[in-house]
Structure 1
């Protein structure tokens, strides 16, 4: 449990309150002079004494706080707003926006802050109207760079990807998803900038380039007290003490608020994809069979330049029908997740679709403009990610996140969307959904978070649901509950389910058909029962032998590792690890053989297995 930093809150609150209340608390006139009593010590009428002109020190100190804090907060606020916008747009949109935002700040940073302020104030003249924009320019680069760095660290997380899959636009993602997650560092930077601005304003006023006398200012008070410090040393103590206490209180307050508001102080695991890029594939899709939700043909995905030959997915074809579950299985590194993301148009950065089509409702998802694809994502097709802990936004309540998914595609009010969110939570088996809808993700168990992700995915009644290893992080009991939930949703709504996993027991539980993937290729495909009973590829048989069993022999590991793209064997990709390979396997890459109704195998020896 984190507690609010009450001591800094009280300290800063009292300072700000005193500055705001200066006109109404009955202080002496801060500019009224009484030369006859200059340098007089503390008295009942003047608790902190009188300065070199006989002016009341306490009054000038409080009015000086009003001036110094007003200038500092105004400049820091302007720099914060403009700098955060520049960093947010530059870090997320990238391209020209990134170049303009970052490089323009590099130009400003070429000038030392104090010298830049001195130059501008000297040219334009002193005064608050000059100091505020000058200080805002001085602190603008720091806010831009902090926001930019924060966006780069957040934009690749799964919950940002989830919002993109839901079809949210750039503005919504930047303001609702990314901005709250970088607010902590920006808030700390605001405290540093405001405190530094107080010091810089005081320094400029000390030099005669800031606030114009006789207006009160801590810098003017320090400068004036320097000349009389031998006769009245207390005149130097009061403004210096006020300046020090204010800066320390401001920094302590914002550090404390950062700790309270930041729900993830520890670094979270970054996703392996950092941004998404649309890649057009100008291929006219062939008509799919009736009842087909997703029809993928010849999908080929390259890492980097396709001419380099680093193909992570090669000539993959499959289809998902209404009310059917197709499981894509294979070892880690086989290309399952990359293939599934590419098939629904979510091509990761540094990756390019070099061939094939992915058709849904007569539209090629790989060739759709970003705006049209966004209308389908989260509506007609949705995705459940592997780790719900990082897929859900930690700074928003789960009910609000589900409601946002609904409102992104439906013209409903916030209240109606919230009501639907509670209903969805109830439908996915979460107890007391009204209370759970108001919870933050960290307040829910792993199984509940996954149910929230499922509720969000089905919020708009999709025809296709892509589940990327949704049960990996769950224990066996919760895993069974989630699988039962997915099966009931498929049965009741007739949606097509593309299930990505490496767990064969899960496949046996939920899948109607199986496609076995290895090194970017589908090596075998067919009905689940037939694949398990009679595998027709050595890799499928090896996977079955490696799966744990309730009884029988112990699991057998598969020797070797999955080859990386760009370094594939000349023949069959599994030949180096296969105990049944022959010379032809090593030299010739086999096609995908049609070996029976609904079955295929990429093995030249399939008939003898």
Structure 2
């Protein structure tokens, strides 16, 4: 149980006690809520009546518990009905857009123009007082809130790659909504429900207080407060008990909502999917850190990354091995879909939802020599590593930088995370100057859209190296830049390495020319596997895997009349060949290549290849 989950214990326990009391009210040894004892009206607490008797001599404790039953039944019932209706409207409007959006989300937003209490009064006035009309009024009142929350979440999720892939495969839209989008919008939906329950209890009590809610003799907290108002001088405690019950329950639900927000925050689910969806297939070891005086900065051993679905598990990365020494630059190369980005994201603990590291180890050696298996950390533990130990430069700086905050503010926030408060402007300007941004004093107050593509990438690099990390992961940082700016960014990386000689660098790219210019070692990935690794000079001069040789041959060089293309495409995760994954595209393929997956071999010192015919490649 992590720290955030433990925060749910107190409010969750109180809510559970309240629910148990009101559910078991019919079988608890309570006084009859309708039994009157007029001669003992306004009597104080006693052994028979622990909280005293009301204006008709009825037991206050019994009416308090039964009143909570009525209030919570109305609040929870209307919240659930509004959630179902609002979620359906938000999903349909957010996914189909156009006319469907107008009919569903935009039409429901008309209700938001009316004051909440006035709308509830209108419905109750038309249909009459009672539990049914009150629940209908609250359902109409809160449906637009759910619709807006789900609509916004659906817009965000529907543009992600895994939804696009299902559309491309011809999945039915309703199946996509039910199985893919709905699970991803559930966290904000659950938080919204806890807010609605608390708000509905307040409105129900207000309407009952006005005589337009629960009809006597059924008890409710609003009715009890209304009755106690006229007897404040004779028995002030009659007003205290229902007020405490109402305020305490609402505050507990609000606290539960805040804790749920923390637990279900997307930043807290990077260790393999949302908390409520996570199902780990990995055996977690209690001992996560050991002392080590010497060794590699990062060592990935036999790592596997899988996608867990309802009916099967897809292995996206299999038995990946990668080592980064202190001060070394390792290039991670391969075609799109080879698994290089997933491998780099696993080092940062930033895998997408429903993906998890299910096998192997990701061992990182900290500044004090402690070796930690990053694959076993939860989000709260990972935060102590990001920034000051490990940092990342993302491919799209436009998407990585917050568009509503100035560049200087974002860099200052990163620095404050390590050094606390203080005047960060001089340090931020100096950092901008170090990464080569011209006129840093003026750029300090610029928004990301006011910078050029190269300047945004430099700002992204400045953000990544602000706290002097020991390991920097760069995910194709030069892909979207023109050749001149690309050369400048590569030069900046080399200058950063020279200024921080102990910093390790993982450079993810598909450009072999970049690898030759910046890297010490290269790791080649194909279809989720490391197929070759070694020093750049050795691998480029004498590749030991057909895929590496084909990549090198496809690079335009000199005055060649034609380029060598690799036939076929990378196989999808659900249709991997049973043997060597490159066999269907390989000119060296033989029947034995398709029989079983090849094991990694070492043709020479510091060389690895996953090919049984490596001697024949070059």
3-state secondary structure, aligned to 2:468? coil
Q: 1:534 to 1:439 in 2, by over 3 A?
A: same
Q: Is the Cα contact below 8 Å between 1:274 and 1:349 reproduced in 2?
A: no
**Which residue does the alignment assign to 1:367?**
376
Return the alpha-carbon distance in structure 1 between the equivalents of residues 437 and 421 of structure 2. Answer: 24
Task: Work out which of the residue numbers 594, 599, 613 in structure 2 matches 1:605.
Answer: 613
**Which residue does the alignment assign to 2:585?**
577
Q: Is the Cα contact below 8 Å between 2:270 and 2:379 reproduced in 1?
A: no
**Which residue does the alignment assign to 2:334?**
330
Return the alpha-carbon distance in structure 2 between the equivalents of residues 349 and 424 of structure 1. Answer: 34
**Which residue does the alignment assign to 2:202?**
none
Q: For 1:509-588, what aligned pairs fall within 5 Å after superposition?
A: 509-588=517-596
Return the alpha-carbon distance in structure 1 between the equivalents of residues 497 and 540 of structure 2. Answer: 22
Deviation of the 1:608 alpha carbon: 2.3
**Which residue does the alignment assign to 1:399?**
408
Deviation of the 1:117 alpha carbon: 3.7
Q: Is the Cα contact below 8 Å between 2:474 and 2:506 reproduced in 1?
A: yes
Deviation of the 1:295 alpha carbon: 1.3
Return the alpha-carbon distance in structure 2 between the equivalents of residues 484 and 135 of structure 1. Answer: 65
**Which residue does the alignment assign to 1:446?**
453
Deviation of the 1:365 alpha carbon: 1.1
Report whether the alignment pairs 1:485 with 2:487: no
Return the alpha-carbon distance in structure 2 between the equivalents of residues 305 and 107 of structure 1. Answer: 23
Report whether the alignment pairs 1:150 with 2:141: no
3-state secondary structure, aligned to 2:384? helix
Return the alpha-carbon distance in structure 1 between the equivalents of residues 138 and 458 of structure 2. Answer: 46
Q: Is the Cα contact below 8 Å between 1:546 and 1:555 reproduced in 2?
A: yes
**Which residue does the alignment assign to 1:62?**
none
Q: Is the Cα contact below 8 Å between 1:299 and 1:314 reproduced in 2?
A: yes
Task: Work out which of the residue numbers 356, 372, 396 in structure 2 matches 1:387.
Answer: 396
**Which residue does the alignment assign to 1:293?**
297
TM-score, normalised with respect to structure 1:
0.58
3-state secondary structure, aligned to 2:332? strand
Q: For 1:259-338, what aligned pairs fall within 5 Å after superposition?
A: 276-279=269-272, 281=282, 282-283=284-285, 290-305=294-309, 308-338=312-342
Corresponding pairs, count: 390
Q: Is the Cα contact below 8 Å between 2:471 and 2:505 reproduced in 1?
A: yes
Q: 1:315 to 1:138 in 2, by over 3 A?
A: same
Deviation of the 1:143 alpha carbon: 4.5
Q: 1:123 to 1:419 in 2, by over 3 A?
A: farther
Task: Identify the range of structure 1 (373-382 vs 444-453) with the bigger mean alpha-carbon deviation.
Answer: 373-382
Report whether the alignment pairs 1:340 with 2:344: yes
Task: Work out which of the residue numbers 119, 122, 137 in structure 2 matches 1:118.
Answer: 122
1:502-536 Cα deviation digits (max 9, x unpaired): 11111111110000000000000000011111101
Report whether the alignment pairs 1:497 with 2:505: yes
3-state secondary structure, aligned to 1:302? strand
Q: Is the Cα contact below 8 Å between 1:402 and 1:421 reproduced in 2?
A: yes
Deviation of the 1:410 alpha carbon: 2.6
Return the alpha-carbon distance in structure 1 between the equivalents of residues 473 and 487 of structure 2. Answer: 18
The higher-RCO structure (CA 8 Å, 6+ apart) is: 1
Q: 1:442 to 1:552 in 2, by over 3 A?
A: same
Deviation of the 1:274 alpha carbon: 11
Q: 1:586 to 1:155 in 2, by over 3 A?
A: closer
Return the alpha-carbon distance in structure 2 between the equivalents of residues 460 and 554 of structure 1. Answer: 47
Q: Is the Cα contact below 8 Å between 1:537 and 1:601 reproduced in 2?
A: yes
Deviation of the 1:554 alpha carbon: 3.0
Task: Identify the range of structure 1 (466-475 vs 349-358) with the bigger mean alpha-carbon deviation.
Answer: 349-358
Q: 1:150 to 1:307 in 2, by over 3 A?
A: closer
**Which residue does the alignment assign to 1:351?**
355
Deviation of the 1:553 alpha carbon: 4.5
Return the alpha-carbon distance in structure 1 between the equivalents of residues 153 and 573 of structure 2. Answer: 30
Q: Is the Cα contact below 8 Å between 2:305 and 2:318 reproduced in 1?
A: yes
Q: 1:355 to 1:106 in 2, by over 3 A?
A: closer
Deviation of the 1:378 alpha carbon: 2.0
**Which residue does the alignment assign to 1:470?**
477
Q: Is the Cα contact below 8 Å between 2:407 and 2:447 reproduced in 1?
A: yes
**Which residue does the alignment assign to 2:386?**
377
3-state secondary structure, aligned to 1:316? strand
Q: Is the Cα contact below 8 Å between 1:297 and 1:357 reproduced in 2?
A: yes
Q: 1:100 to 1:340 in 2, by over 3 A?
A: farther
Return the alpha-carbon distance in structure 2 between the equivalents of residues 304 and 344 of structure 1. Answer: 20
Return the alpha-carbon distance in structure 1 between the equivalents of residues 510 and 354 of structure 2. Answer: 25
1:111-152 Cα deviation digits (max 9, x unpaired): 988863413568999xxxxxxxx9999765434533443355
Return the alpha-carbon distance in structure 2 between the equivalents of residues 498 and 331 of structure 1. Answer: 17
Return the alpha-carbon distance in structure 2 between the equivalents of residues 99 and 511 of structure 1. Answer: 57
Q: 1:484 to 1:571 in 2, by over 3 A?
A: same
Q: For 1:221-260, what aligned pairs fall within 5 Å after superposition?
A: none
Report whether the alignment pairs 1:420 with 2:420: no
Q: 1:121 to 1:351 in 2, by over 3 A?
A: same
Q: 1:589 to 1:137 in 2, by over 3 A?
A: closer
Q: 1:305 to 1:107 in 2, by over 3 A?
A: closer
Q: 1:445 to 1:309 in 2, by over 3 A?
A: same
3-state secondary structure, aligned to 1:313? strand
Task: Work out which of the residue numbers 565, 588, 600 in structure 2 matches 1:592.
Answer: 600
Gaps of 5+ in 2: 1-78, 90-107, 130-135, 161-211, 213-265, 273-279, 366-370
1:254-301 Cα deviation digits (max 9, x unpaired): xxxxxxxxxxxxxxxxxxx99944247514678778252211111101
3-state secondary structure, aligned to 1:462? coil
Gaps of 5+ in 1: 1-97, 126-133, 159-208, 210-272
Return the alpha-carbon distance in structure 2 between the equivalents of residues 536 and 421 of structure 1. Answer: 46
